[in-house]
Amino acid sequence: MNLMRIIILVAAIAAAGLTAILVRSLVSAPETVEEKPAIPVNQVLVAARKIDIGAKLTEADLRWQEFPEPSIASVYFTKSRNPEAIRELMGGIARAEIFAASPITPGKIVKAGDGGFMSAILEGGMRAMAIKIAPESGAGGFILPGDRVDVLLTRQVTVRDESGQNVRDIVSETLLENVRALAIDQTVNDPGAAESGSAKTTSSVIGKTATLQVTPAQAQTLASAIEGGTLSLALRSLERKEDPVFAAREAEAARALEEQRKKHGAFSIIRYGAPGQFRPK
């Protein structure tokens, strides 16, 4: 074997060794993965279930849900900015329909005291009308928003006494029955909401104005009566069922008065034991 062949053989062996070392290093080298920073998240207040328009919010209607920080709008309620949002929004009224898991925004909720709250708590087709009252004509301040009342009109009338002389007297009549009180002055919190912690408990409210929920026809009746006398409120019992004997007696009395009015054009009034006649003008 000559020297040239020996040199070629050694070179080939060296090349093969270098190739094996290079392949081994490439296979065993760990792949470098660039770690991306984690996206920050925050908890956003969302609807726990579908909330219909006009519905009063309860704790079961709201919950916190994680949202990526970049996707959180400035109008959303977040737990970092508004930790007491659930408690503060309880008792509010949904201004629009809110779907489940949708973020809650101030524009979707009307809270007590905010503009538009009165229209939000009104039942469909009803109207809100304010009348002047005095402490003695408002059950001493114990008529609260949410109570049911009767509206009475007291006025001066001309009656005829036994001698046939016309004298001035005061009569009262029930204009409306079982009307819902929406507010006393600016107090509109529902006493029932206090049980859930969304409103402060109110023992009494002394006010000069009562806002009532009435039908359009009842609103016209009130508007006509406001200038004709003094309006008073009579608080009704929470018991919805009326005494049937009492209701029958009242109905019979009203029927007798109506028959007398049609027959004689006047009502009999007993004043201090003396009968008189009231002729409506």
**pLDDT, tens digit (0-9, with 9 covering 90-100), for 244-255:** 666 676 677 667
| 163 close to 186: Cβ distance less than 8 angstroms | no
Residue 60 is predicted with a pLDDT of 93
The arithmetic mean of pLDDT across residues 228-241, rounded, is: 76
User: What is d(CA 86, CA 77) in angstroms, rounded to the nearest whole number?
Assistant: 9
Residue 230 has pLDDT above 50, yes or no: yes
Beta strands, E only, the chain: 41-47, 62-68, 93-94, 109-110, 127-132, 148-160, 166-184, 209-214, 230-235, 267-271, 274-278
Which backbone phi and psi does 24 adopt, to 5 degrees?
-65, -40
Q: Is the pTM of this model over 0.75?
A: no
User: What is d(CA 212, CA 229) in angstroms, rounded to the nearest whole number?
Assistant: 18
**Domain-wise residue ranges, the chain:** 41-119, 122-278
Residue 204 is predicted with a pLDDT of 61
Pairing of strands 230-235, 267-271: unpaired
**Tokens 């070392």 sit at which residue?**
21
User: What is d(CA 63, CA 67) in angstroms, rounded to the nearest whole number?
Assistant: 13
Kindly report the average pLDDT of the chain as a whole number.
76
Residue of 122, 130, 44 whose CA lies nearest to 79: 44
| 133 close to 208: Cβ distance less than 8 angstroms | yes
CB proximity list for 234: less than 8 A, separation 6 or greater = 139, 149, 150, 151, 152, 174
The amino acid occupying position 269 is I
Q: For 146-204, what is each residue's pLDDT tens digit?
A: 888 899 888 887 777 667 777 777 777 888 888 888 888 766 654 334 333 444 445 56
Cα radius of gyration rounded to whole Å, the chain: 40
Q: For 105-161, what is each residue's pLDDT tens digit?
A: 988 888 766 666 677 777 778 888 988 876 666 555 678 888 888 998 888 877 776
Residue of 231, 220, 238, 146 whose CA lies nearest to 183: 146
Considering the segment(s) 41-119 as one domain, its CATH architecture is: Alpha-Beta Complex (3.90)
